[in-house]
Amino acid sequence: MRLLVVGGAGYIGSVVTARLLAEGHQVVVLDDLSTGHEDAVPEGAEFRLGSIADRKALASLLSGGVDAVLHFAALSLVGESMAQPELYWGNNVGGTLSLLTSMREAGVRRLVFSSSAAVYGEPDSNPIPEDAPTRPTSPYGNSKLAADLLIGDEARAHGLGAVSLRYFNVAGAALGRGERHNPETHLIPRVLEVAAGRAEAALVFGTDYPTLDGTAIRDYIHVDDLAQAHLLALAATGGAPGRHLVYNLGSGAGFSVLEVIGAARDVTGRPIPIRHQPRRPGDPAVLVASSQRIAAELGWVARRPAMAGMVADAWEFLLARTGG
């Protein structure tokens, strides 16, 4: 297929692009490089610098015979969204509306969208199924939920075949691509910076959560397992005109912040001093996905659920990038 990947210069978008190319698809990447890196765009993909808000650029890209779109282009910092919600509504919701409109005008009727566990907010119980109440606790979560609702309406009214993948905590590296955000807010890369001697201590945000060791629990999914889910989702959009399928994606197990740091010590063989900090505002205690629906309907399984493997891949990526 000929595919448009918006946000294909980012962490997840670039890994998925590399997997799509390996499967024999033709890929055009559109990215404004606001958070992505041009050198992350895999060789073999055509790169266009631009924004999904630019309807003219989208029209010209989509008129070239695109079969489906994968949409990763979004802002994703919860804290930033609290301070500047307008950025999140503009980029994440406005950008998605612009993309949907351009796709409709060009007759492109298949979409895979990067949604988030943030749409659920603080859940009543774990693991979280797709029919759990959606009560986001941040403008970021609101923007992802609004985009999901937009896509559902577009599917019902105009025959779009769409899949929203609600990611939990994505981790690891694959195909030479990994996390390099600036600023980096995610636990695993931050802890590995300490192991690499580039930061003094790992900060543990909250030690009084109602969990066994008092630290927050998350469900980490290997980025390559996530890429595999995108391939399955893409295939599913072909059989779903007029339908919007929604799937949660995690490995189904929770790891506490201290367990992640322990895994990082084991993998790197380096001491990682920690510093206790207050809770980070808006962080739920426990978020674990039920991925039963995507397993049952699309046959997806987490092949790399081990924390040690995710940390090892992220560590290898960091060492390769920083020259050891």
Residue from 14, 51, 115, 169 in contact with ligand UFG (CB under 6 A): 169
Torsion of the alpha carbons at 291, 293, 296 and 300, rounded to the nearest 10: -40
Residue from 17, 76, 81, 126 in contact with ligand UFG (CB under 6 A): 76
Query: In terms of Cα–Cα distance, which of 14, 9, 24, 7 is closest to 69?
Result: 7
Query: In terms of Cα–Cα distance, which of 257, 260, 247, 230 is closest to 289?
Result: 247
Binding to ligand UFG by residue 258, rule CB under 6 A? no
Altogether, the residues listed in the chain come to a count of: 324
Residue from 190, 243, 293, 304 in contact with ligand UFG (CB under 6 A): 190
User: Residue type for 99, please?
Assistant: L
The maximal CA–CA distance of the chain, rounded, in angstroms, is 56
DSSP-derived letter for residue 90 is I
Q: Report whether 215 contacts 206 (CB < 8 A).
A: yes
Query: By C-beta, is 185 or 322 nearer to ligand UFG?
Result: 185
Q: Cβ of residue 318: shortest distance to ligand UFG, in angstroms? A: 15
Let me know if 198 is exposed, middle or buried by CB neighbors in 10 A (0-12, 13-18, 19+). Answer: exposed
DSSP-derived letter for residue 228 is H
Q: Total binding residues for ligand UFG by CB under 6 A?
A: 20
For the window 203-242, what string marks contact with ligand UFG as x by the rule CB under 6 A?
Answer: xxx----------x-x------------------------
| Structural tokens at position 142 | 């609101």
Whether 140 is a known active-site residue: answer yes
Q: Name the segment binding ligand UFG (CB under 6 A); options: 20-28, 41-49, 105-113, 180-188.
A: 180-188
Query: By C-beta, is 162 or 192 nearer to ligand UFG?
Result: 192
Binding to ligand UFG by residue 116, rule CB under 6 A? yes
Query: By C-beta, is 29 or 202 nearer to ligand UFG?
Result: 202
SS3 203: strand
- Alpha-carbon span 321 to 192, nearest angstrom: 13
Q: Cβ of residue 202: shortest distance to ligand UFG, in angstroms? A: 6
Q: Out of 88, 140, 167, 247, which one is annotated catalytic?
A: 140
Q: Name the segment binding ligand UFG (CB under 6 A); options: 35-43, 201-209, 245-253, 294-302.
A: 201-209
Binding site for ligand UFG (CB under 6 A): 76, 78, 116-118, 168-169, 185-187, 190, 203-205, 216, 218, 257, 280, 283, 287
Catalytic site positions = 140
